[in-house]
Structure 1
């Protein structure tokens, strides 16, 4: 990624986008830790780029709440907190409940089959203790449901919330039994979608997100966050 940025004939706009994507993933996977300072000069030197695309990437990350500005010091990665986790998952609870309700109204066998396959991939990744693959499968499942709603507006709203909550996914590794519960909760949601039962799908989605958020907030609070 970094070498490509240094040597590739990329337009300025594309460079800013690539820097943003690279830094965002580094924040989400914990390479840049909560509270870590990210200075423009150091990042530009590390990536072998001018300040401008790096500055644009940092400003976009700031708008998304992943970094925050410190006067005369540059940016730093926003810390994790139990309260922020509660807020994000409360919002997700309502929006994903709506997404499940809408998806169930027009669900077909293909949707349920796709979700069953993705949930199996999540379970297989859990057996391997491959947390990266678990994260990929989990987001794929939730995005597949969102896709089935056909709502661009709901998609934009949920994508924003998912961006804020993505960096909390590493916390799931600290929650005993959470992955097994997730597999079961996904299965319950999928069954409601297969039956085309909007109310059951909404409640299953809301219960899943609510429990996951409560478990995560508890772990963060126990670790003083």
Structure 2
């Protein structure tokens, strides 16, 4: 019996007049990290090709790359999908994320005082201006939040660490779709200004503490949603 995929919606993806693998790969990564795809969501080749306005080849190659990195699940002759995530799996990802992202912020603080933090502050200001009672603004919120975090982590100037953080976000990102599943999403970026302020002062320990509070607070909401879903399924 075919699986019911009607509860999943294909997110808005930027098409390109040129069939490039890099464009498709980059768009899929961005969508995964921003929670545009849900845990367990199938990624049909044909639907993605239509969404991108391209042939199957670049989509297939991009999906293969993400599957090889452990971000997606792919079996021969089966549709690639986003892995289903459990509370235990998410908790494990959270522990490793905190180790790596706090380190990035501490290294960023060593260089932050010598860099212009205004552009990152402007991203945070855009988050403040969004109306999270609107679904369109919820999508913008998650994308801007991703942009804020990666702009901050980029200050560490360590490509290896950034690659590690990206893989972790690709694995954990789909659970963010649970935060936008309701009509209203609570904002969870109160610590952003403190993170930037402490980086500007060169205080890595304080910046890392603010970052940890920011991440854990957002995950508390997600863990509650997962627990409620598990209870309803029992």
Q: TM-score, normalised by structure 1?
A: 0.76
Which structure: greater helix fraction? 1
| Residue 133 in structure 1 maps to residue 146 in structure 2 | no
Do the aligned partners of 1:90 and 1:210 also contact (CA within 8 Å) in 2?
A: no
1:2 and 1:131 map into 2 onto residues whose CA distance is 16
Asked if 1:189 is matched to 2:195, the reply is yes
Q: Which is worse superposed, 56-65 or 131-140?
A: 56-65
Whole-Å Cα distance in 1 between the matches of residues 50 and 148 of structure 2? 38
* Displacement after TM superposition at 1:67 (Å): 2.7
Mean CA deviation greater in 48-57 or 112-121? 48-57
How many residues get paired? 217
Instruction: Write out per-residue CA displacement over residues 4-62 of structure 1, whole angstroms, 9 at most, x where no aligned residue.
Output: 66xx464xxx2x33444455566667776543444557766887866544432221121
CA deviations 1:188-209 (Å, max 9, x no partner) are 2222223221111121112222
Select the structure that is richer in strand: 1
2:208 pairs with 1:198: no
> What residue ranges of structure 2 are gaps of 5+ in the alignment?
1-11
Q: Distance in 2 between matches of 1:198 and 1:105?
A: 7
Structure 1 equivalent of residue 100 of structure 2: 95
Indicate whether 1:115 and 2:127 are aligned: no
- Other-structure match for 1:212: 218
C-alpha contact 1:193 1:201 (8 A) present in aligned 2: yes
TM-score when scaled to structure 2?
0.73
For structure 1, list consecutive stretches of 5 or more residues without a partner in the other structure. none
Contact between 2:132 and 2:185, CA under 8 Å: does it hold in 1?
no
Indicate the SS of the match to 2:80. Answer: strand
Alignment-derived partner of residue 5 in structure 2: none
> How well do the aligned residues superpose, as a CA RMSD in angstroms?
3.5
**1:19·1:53 contact (CA, 8 Å) conserved in 2?**
yes
Partner of 1:150, secondary structure, is coil
Looking at CA atoms only, which structure, 1 or 2, has the larger radius of gyration? 1
**In structure 2, what is the equivalent of residue 159 of structure 1?**
166
- Which of 103, 107, 111 lines up with 1:106 in the alignment? 111
